[in-house]
Amino acid sequence: MADTLTFEDEAETPEQIPEQIPEQTMGAGCCGDTGESYDLAKPFKAEDKRLLNCKQVDVNQLMPLKYDWAWEHYLNGCANHWMPTEVPMQRDIELWRTDALTDAERQVILRNLGFFSTGESLVGNNIVLAIFKHITNSEARQYLLRQAFEEAIHTHTFHYIIESLGLDGREVFNMYHEVASIKGKDQFVMNLTSDVMDPNFSTESIEGMQKFIKNLIGFYVIMEGIFFYSGFVMILSFHRQNRMTGIGEQFQYILRDETIHLNFGIDLINTIKAENPEVWTSELQRDIYDLVNDAVEYEVLYARDCLPEGVLGLNETMFREYVQFIADRRLERIGLAGVYGSQNPFPWMGETIDIVKEKNFFETRVTDYQSGGALSWDEWSRRKNLRKGTAPSTRHTKSKSLQDW
């Protein structure tokens, strides 16, 4: 563990429950903690639900809802639906085929395609194979199904980009085996899945719940909340210069999705803590600090690999400060004290996404994108032609930054 991180005394570590957790979840027992057998064929009360280890409630019944935050995240995800093939790549293709991009700039793009292309698959597989079956609440599962679909869309995005630019897909997708900085990050989070993937794993013990929380920390707080953000800065730096705008726009949509994923994961972690306070031990908190510290170092190594000599006005020092800044924000969101005290070296990212107020980021609805059922005939025709490459897109002029969303 690096010397830059210290764990404060337990008394000095704030334990905060987010405002969005309703009071009824605090210490609420499954089915009222009465201990009697429960007939799954009978209607149940919302307060009978729990996120983990609730065998007495029929998980196939969505209503009545208990966790409104889970349902809101699901609705936000549905409202933000998009497909990569709706984003034109012609300008990117033309630029990629010229000498306008330096070798260093091309490396930045390729490294990020290599990381994200398999990183999204790892997250999706973790949802389907490790998380879903242990969540015993229907509205939380409803969002997990939506998120898994979005991870598939993100993987589709990189397939679309790779094919558009004429890249070797095998080379890009295999980078997580061949490029040390990518392999290190992916292996780090995959290690947190091994226990939960064990066929005999259970969340019925305190130790089991703690391992499950570590898995959630690894994939929501670290993978989607830390590891993805350096890549967002790098690719959106091209977009700010009006270069590789197709890739940049798709990364904006991915960033929008990932913010909801992060918010859901944090709400999930905090609610499990609230319902099972005995799991939130000082030892677990120390382990989380260690995980976050290691994640910061992995991400700095990744930034150094992508930007060995600096490019686009970016360098390793700036990314260390930035990663430490967002790591503190993540720790604070799960009720732990920040440890770095770094400032955001990329103030323009604040125009793209207000990190300080992330949990309120999606209160504004998408105005540029409509779901299929809400499209007019003219708009439907335009998008149909766009998929065939016969119509120009207006989205570049409408969505210059995520702040418009």
Q: Are 268 and 275 in contact (CB under 8 A)?
A: no
Q: Is the pLDDT of residue 79 over 50?
A: yes
Mean pLDDT over residues 315-324, rounded?
95
Structure tokens at 156: 């589709």
Mean pLDDT over residues 21-41, rounded?
49
Alpha-carbon distance 100 to 220, whole Å?
Answer: 37
**Where are the chain's structural domains?**
78-404
Distances (CA, A) of 199 to 194, 195, 196, 242, 254: 10, 9, 8, 49, 32
DSSP per-residue string spanning 11-56: GGS-----TTS-GGGTTPPGGGG------TTS---GGG--SBS--S
Q: Is the pLDDT of residue 33 over 80?
A: no
pLDDT band at 92 (very low <50, low <70, confident <90, very high): very high
Structure tokens at 365: 């609805």
314 forms beta bridges with 311
* Lowest mean pLDDT across 112-121, 146-155, 335-344, 385-394: 385-394
* Contacts of 148 by beta carbon, 8 Å cutoff, 6+ apart: 124, 127, 128, 132
Superfamily for the 78-404 domain: Ribonucleotide Reductase, subunit A (1.10.620.20)
pLDDT band at 182 (very low <50, low <70, confident <90, very high): very high
> How much is the mean pLDDT over the chain?
83
What phi and psi, each to the nearest 5 degrees, are found at residue 114? -65, -40
The whole-number pLDDT of residue 42 equals 79
The predicted-structure confidence for 201-258, as pLDDT tens digits, reads as follows 999 999 999 999 999 999 999 999 999 999 999 999 999 999 999 999 999 999 999 9
Q: Is 38 a catalytic residue?
A: no
Q: Which residue out of 67, 143, 160, 369 is catalytically annotated?
A: 160
